[in-house]
């Protein structure tokens, strides 16, 4: 529903958007000839960037990249070796390799050289005997089982398509002139593009100079003395602007074909959730410490050094509660003599605390971070059936901000000179009534327009992931 209905509400005021007239203020009972002492406290998001956590963790901490074009590319180096995949079954014997016979394997690359010892599971070692032969979608290898027992043979299932074969090492005869293979990783090229965001508000001369019932206080506690509508309009404008930018960084969908009013594409860059579509994504029904531990081990195992396994989990308020409960359940055996959750004595007893960090095995360090976007009822309409809060509030987005060589894995990207701010003035200007200056129109009003081109980059999404609540 558009507005909350409560018996506690004694007065509602009509909403409006974009263009403010004096009539709007009168209809909302905000325009009065006298000034009163009541104070309306609104937080300026510009000075409290922490209300927008992704912006705070990237731009706010200097993790930014400035580019001169709308699109940008980056390269990601993968592992320098990998198992080769069997494309089809070439040896149909029930006991392949029996009696020292050659075994034929069709693999997807021609990486292995004569002398390389390859295996499907370490129990069976096969030596490549000859150079592979190209055959359709793969390469045929001729191998011998590394076993002096003439009755030994390869398990028949290992000759089938889909089996992975890895190189163990390379071995050669005395006086040989062959040598083992070396594989190289080639970088992958990734591409993304920025979103062009704009916002405006307009105000007439009468409205700009209209006194309000309420005073306005900024984030530092300063009360504005002139109590004019203009101060409230700009405060509200910036709050919404930074909130909308934050939403685009989380929820943006890569779009290149939607036309704007002038026929050009209204292009949108991908947000975090779209970027993580190819990362580790798991749907859960109940959050437990075991689930978190195994999920994070799956992300880091064999890929990230144990000394650098630091990750941040962004979630809503109910996600934070679920995390706390999961940690409480896991730590229950250790809390019987705890002095942290129960403090004080007599009539001054205190109880409580909240888990917001998890130090797991193998160097895992998880820090919880509240994401107000996931709690926002304006945009999250799928509700939990019993809790009646957005399902998104229990979504966990795991982001690894670190990187090798001092580089940042996640960055705020903006176009050089892409941020612009300006006024379209008539008889009214943002600095007061026009007193003989140039005008761009004949209206007794002015319009402020802000424009920015920005996006988010995640170099390696495989170091990130999401846990998404799914009701049974």
Cα 34 → chain centroid: 49
Residue 49 has a pLDDT of 47
pTM over 0.85: no
Model confidence over 65-75: pLDDT tens digits? 888 888 877 76
Per the CB < 8 A criterion, the answer to whether 159 and 91 are in contact is yes
CATH code that applies to domain 12-77+188-333+353-472: 3.90.1690
Per the CB < 8 A criterion, the answer to whether 442 and 426 are in contact is yes
Model confidence over 428-446: pLDDT tens digits? 888 888 999 899 989 998 8
Question: Residue 34, class by beta-carbon neighbours within 10 Å (0-12 exposed, 13-18 middle, 19+ buried)?
Answer: exposed
Q: What mean pLDDT is reported for the chain?
A: 81
Phi/psi of residue 60, nearest 5 degrees: -65, -20
Helix or strand holding residue 254 (H, E): none
CA atoms of 99 and 110, how far apart (whole Å): 27
Residue 2: pLDDT band (50, 70, 90) is very low
Model confidence over 317-349: pLDDT tens digits? 999 999 999 998 888 777 555 556 777 777 777
Name the 3-class secondary structure at 235: helix
Name the 3-class secondary structure at 26: helix
Per the CB < 8 A criterion, the answer to whether 449 and 263 are in contact is no
């Amino acid at each position: 529903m558009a507005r909350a209905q409560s018996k506690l509400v004694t007065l509602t005021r009509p909403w409006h958007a974009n263009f403010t007239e004096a009539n709007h203020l009168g209809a909302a009972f905000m325009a009065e000839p006298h000034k009163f002492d009541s104070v309306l406290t609104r937080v300026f998001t510009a000075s409290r960037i922490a209300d927008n956590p992704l912006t705070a963790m990237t731009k706010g901490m200097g993790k930014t990249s400035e580019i001169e074009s709308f699109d940008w590319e980056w390269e990601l180096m993968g592992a320098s070796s990998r198992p080769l995949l069997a494309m089809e079954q070439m040896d149909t014997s029930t006991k392949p390799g029996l009696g020292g016979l050659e075994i034929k394997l069709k693999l997807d690359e021609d990486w292995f050289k004569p002398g390389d010892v390859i295996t499907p599971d370490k129990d069976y070692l096969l030596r490549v005997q000859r150079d592979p032969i190209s055959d359709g979608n793969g390469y045929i290898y001729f191998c011998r089982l590394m076993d002096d027992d003439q009755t030994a043979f390869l398990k028949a299932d290992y000759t089938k398509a889909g089996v992975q074969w890895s190189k163990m090492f390379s071995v050669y005869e005395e006086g040989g002139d062959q040598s083992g293979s070396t594989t190289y990783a080639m970088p992958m090229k990734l591409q993304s593009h920025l979103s062009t965001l704009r916002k405006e508000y307009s105000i007439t001369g009468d409205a700009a100079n209209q006194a309000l019932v309420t005073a306005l206080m900024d984030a530092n506690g300063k009360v504005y003395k002139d109590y004019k509508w203009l101060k409230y309009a700009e405060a509200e404008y910036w709050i919404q602007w930074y909130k909308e930018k934050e939403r685009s960084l989380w929820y943006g969908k890569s779009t290149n074909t939607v036309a704007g009013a002038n026929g050009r594409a209204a292009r949108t860059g991908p947000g975090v959730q779209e970027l993580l579509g190819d990362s580790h994504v798991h749907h859960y029904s109940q959050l437990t410490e075991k689930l978190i531990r195994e999920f994070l081990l799956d992300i880091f195992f064999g890929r990230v050094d144990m000394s650098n396994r630091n990750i941040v989990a962004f979630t809503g308020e109910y996600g934070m509660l679920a995390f706390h409960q999961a940690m409480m359940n896991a730590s229950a055996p250790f809390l019987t003599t705890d002095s942290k959750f129960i403090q004080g004595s007599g009539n001054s007893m205190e109880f409580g605390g909240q888990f917001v960090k998890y130090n797991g095995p193998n160097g895992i360090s998880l820090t919880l971070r509240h994401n107000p976007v996931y709690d926002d009822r304006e945009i999250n309409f799928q509700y939990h059936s019993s809790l009646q809060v957005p399902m998104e509030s229990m979504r966990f987005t795991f982001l690894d901000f670190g990187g090798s060589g001092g580089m940042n894995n996640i960055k705020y990207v903006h176009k050089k000179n892409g941020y612009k701010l300006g006024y379209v003035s008539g008889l009214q200007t943002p600095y007061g009534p026009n007193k003989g200056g140039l005008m761009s129109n004949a209206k007794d009003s002015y319009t402020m327009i802000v424009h920015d081109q920005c996006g988010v980059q995640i170099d390696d999404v495989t170091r990130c992931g999401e846990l998404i609540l799914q009701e049974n």
